[in-house]
């Protein structure tokens, strides 16, 4: 749900408070208005600052936004759905969230060259949480393993999750507040500030891991959608070990959303060595994996296929799904490669688009009994079609909203997929 023009005083004050916080962080006069250059400078400085400085700034931003976000949370309408997250009747996919958070999308409008807050949206988020939210939209049962903290951010996160029909009380309670992801949307460009995740104690980490292993044993042979990063406080080999253990002991088909810039080359290499069933890099991330310039890959689809099949052969991965924004997406396995053209949609926000696409693949495999381990040619193309349709349907929506099943199915009619 979005705050609209019904709350103009909140927006005026919010703009002032955010401007003051940003200028303080940039060491500029407090009344300097927000511009694109301001946001670019903020990104450069924030992500290069030490953790303590980042944390101080994040606290100031949250203090500026807390009242508006809490109003938004209270005003959000509860979605009338059964809780899909804990089905005891049939085996279901498992979603593992390790860096969940409250996503705050601030839409900024231009006012004489500077920007002011025009609308605000808040949702529970993080890549795995968005996969769960999308599956919930689609009506596909799942088992969500993750954490809920203690604090004001956590209160908003938990209530919004509950209002979407996902019970947060099943999540492991930890002694720390939930993180937040704040996105400034200006001129269709995203600028992100992310607060730190709570660091788990060894006991909390053991409890979270035990919950995941139990869920995988109870849903043996299903899909496991993994978060990109291990929980804060875990060792570097945590995620690769999770992949190997859930595959070996519970026969899980692991989907891993590849983000080299987030996890670093050492961890990503270890993840690839553990051979997840599917990885989903975008073209820039894929270029980093194979060591080839992005634009060279974009202009040579055969090179994308060749290098992907080399990676598959080297690591034992079953499939690689490469998203290529305006050029669509490609799904590649050991013997096949399919390409789907992009849909001509006006992109409003890319938040959660790829996660919705992953959820659409899982949804289709469950509802239409399509094998994700050994898909036929037609099912192979159907998975790619679902991914592109779902991502496009979410990209059309503002802020942090995710597509509905009806919207995805309507989009699928226009997706063209062919083998290369």
The partner residues of 255 in beta bridges, in order of sequence, read: 225, 278
d(CA 74, CA 72): 6
Closest CA to 3 of 114, 145, 106, 157: 106
Compute, in degrees rounded to 10, the torsion defined by CA atoms 313, 316, 318, 321.
Answer: -70
pLDDT digits (tens, 9 = 90+) for 362-396: 999 999 999 999 999 999 999 999 999 999 999 99
Is residue 143 within a helix (H) or strand (E), and if so which, with residue range? strand 143-145
List C-alpha distances in Å: 8 to 3, 15, 32.
9, 11, 21
Token readout for 369 is 């009994």
d(CA 157, CA 92): 24
Domains of the chain: 1-207 (3.40.1190), 235-420 (3.40.1190.20)
Residues 6+ apart with CB under 8 A from 39: 115, 184, 186, 189, 191
Backbone CA torsion sign across 363, 367, 368, 373: positive
Of the pLDDT bands very low, low, confident and very high (cuts 50, 70, 90), residue 260 is: low
Token readout for 298 is 């974009």
Chain mean position to CA 196: 16
Q: What is the mean pLDDT of residues 55-61?
A: 96
pLDDT of residue 81: 54
d(CA 259, CA 372): 22
Question: Does 231 score more than 50 pLDDT?
Answer: yes
In contact, 225 and 255? CB cutoff 8 Å: yes
Token pair 């804990």: residue: 86
Question: Does 6 score more than 70 pLDDT?
Answer: no
3-class secondary structure, 21: helix
Query: Among 8-17, 108-117, 336-345, which is the least confidently predicted range?
Result: 8-17
Task: At 54, give phi and psi (nearest 5°).
Answer: -60, -45
Token readout for 212 is 């995941």
DSSP output for 182-231? EEEEETTEEEEEEPPPPPPPHHHHHHHHHHHHHHHHHTTTSEEEEPSSPP
Query: Among 140-144, 221-225, 234-238, which is the least confidently predicted range?
Result: 234-238
Euclidean distance between the first and the last CA atom of the chain, given in angstroms as a whole number? 41
pLDDT digits (tens, 9 = 90+) for 21-54: 999 999 999 889 999 999 999 999 999 999 999 9
Is residue 399 within a helix (H) or strand (E), and if so which, with residue range? none
Helix axis angle, 405-412 to 377-395, nearest 10°? 120
Chain mean position to CA 338: 24
pTM as predicted: 0.92
Of the pLDDT bands very low, low, confident and very high (cuts 50, 70, 90), residue 200 is: very high
């Amino acid at each position: 749900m979005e705050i609209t023009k019904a709350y103009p005083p909140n927006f005026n004050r919010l703009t002032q408070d955010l401007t003051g916080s940003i200028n303080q962080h940039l060491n500029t006069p407090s009344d300097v208005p927000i511009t694109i250059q301001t946001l670019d400078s903020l990104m450069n400085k924030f992500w290069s600052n030490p953790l303590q400085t980042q944390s101080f700034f994040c606290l100031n931003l949250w203090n500026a936004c807390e009242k508006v976000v809490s109003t938004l949370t209270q005003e959000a309408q509860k979605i009338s759905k059964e809780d899909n997250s804990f089905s005891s009747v049939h085996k279901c996919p498992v979603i593992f969230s390790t860096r969940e958070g409250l996503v705050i999308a601030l839409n900024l409008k231009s006012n004489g060259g500077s920007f002011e807050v025009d609308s605000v949206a808040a949702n529970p988020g993080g890549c795995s949480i968005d996969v769960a939210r999308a599956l919930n939209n689609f009506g596909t049962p799942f088992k969500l393993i993750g954490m809920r903290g203690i604090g004001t951010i956590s209160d908003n996160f938990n209530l919004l999750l509950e209002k979407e029909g996902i019970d947060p009380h099943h999540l492991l309670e930890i002694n720390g507040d939930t993180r937040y992801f704040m996105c400034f949307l200006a001129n269709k460009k995203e600028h992100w500030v992310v607060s730190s995740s709570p660091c788990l104690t060894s006991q909390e980490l053991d409890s979270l891991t035990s919950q995941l292993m139990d869920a995988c044993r109870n849903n043996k042979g299903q899909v496991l959608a993994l978060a990109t990063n291990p929980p804060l406080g875990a060792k570097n080999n945590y995620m690769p070990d999770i992949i190997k253990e859930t595959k070996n002991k519970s026969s899980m088909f692991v989907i891993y959303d590849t983000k080299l810039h987030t996890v670093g080359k050492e961890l990503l290499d270890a993840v690839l060595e553990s051979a997840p069933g599917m990885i989903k890099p975008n073209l820039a991330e894929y270029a980093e994996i194979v060591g080839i310039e992005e634009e060279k890959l974009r202009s040579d689809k055969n090179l994308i296929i060749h290098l992907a099949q080399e990676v598959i052969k080297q690591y034992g991965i079953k499939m690689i799904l490469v998203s290529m924004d305006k050029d669509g997406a490609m799904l590649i396995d050991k013997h096949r490669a399919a390409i789907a053209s992009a849909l001509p949609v006006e992109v409003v926000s890319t938040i959660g688009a790829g996660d919705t696409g992953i959820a659409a693949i899982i949804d289709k495999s469950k509802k239409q009994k399509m094998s994700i381990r050994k898909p036929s040619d037609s099912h192979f193309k159907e998975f790619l079609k679902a991914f592109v349709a779902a991502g496009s349907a979410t990209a059309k929506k503002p802020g942090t909203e995710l597509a509905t099943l009806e919207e995805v199915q309507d989009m699928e009619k226009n997706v063209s997929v062919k083998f290369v």
